[in-house]
């Protein structure tokens, strides 16, 4: 995946923000809004809020994105 979470997310950031908040409920609306769709910012935010290691945060985001892509393709 590229620096952006994925191109689909960039185009549908408003739509996916709610799904991010559902998945990682400790993130505030402001935190999610400030991410602007970048993977690094999402990973960093969940790493900070949940105390994950960098690799664990990356895996969480990858898993989330894969599930989101599959749901959009069905």
**pLDDT tens-digit profile of 4-48?**
544 555 567 777 888 999 999 999 989 988 887 788 889 999 999
Q: Give the predicted TM-score (pTM) of the model.
A: 0.75
For the chain, how many structural domains are there in total? Answer: 1
Enclosing domain of residue 58: 7-72
In a domain, 1, yes or no: no
**pLDDT tens-digit profile of 39-72?**
888 999 999 999 999 999 999 999 998 887 777 6
In a domain, 29, yes or no: yes
The answer to whether the beta carbons of residues 64 and 23 sit under 8 Å apart is yes
In a domain, 55, yes or no: yes
In a domain, 2, yes or no: no
Q: What is the CATH number of the domain that holds 25?
A: 1.10.1470.10
């Amino acid at each position: 995946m590229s620096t952006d979470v994925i191109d689909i997310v960039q185009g549908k950031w408003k739509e996916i923000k709610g799904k991010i908040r559902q998945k990682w409920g400790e993130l505030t609306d402001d935190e999610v809004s400030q991410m602007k769709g970048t993977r690094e910012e999402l990973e960093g935010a969940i790493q900070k809020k949940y105390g994950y290691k960098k690799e664990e945060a990356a895996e969480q985001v990858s898993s989330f994105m894969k599930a989101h892509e599959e749901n959009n393709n069905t």
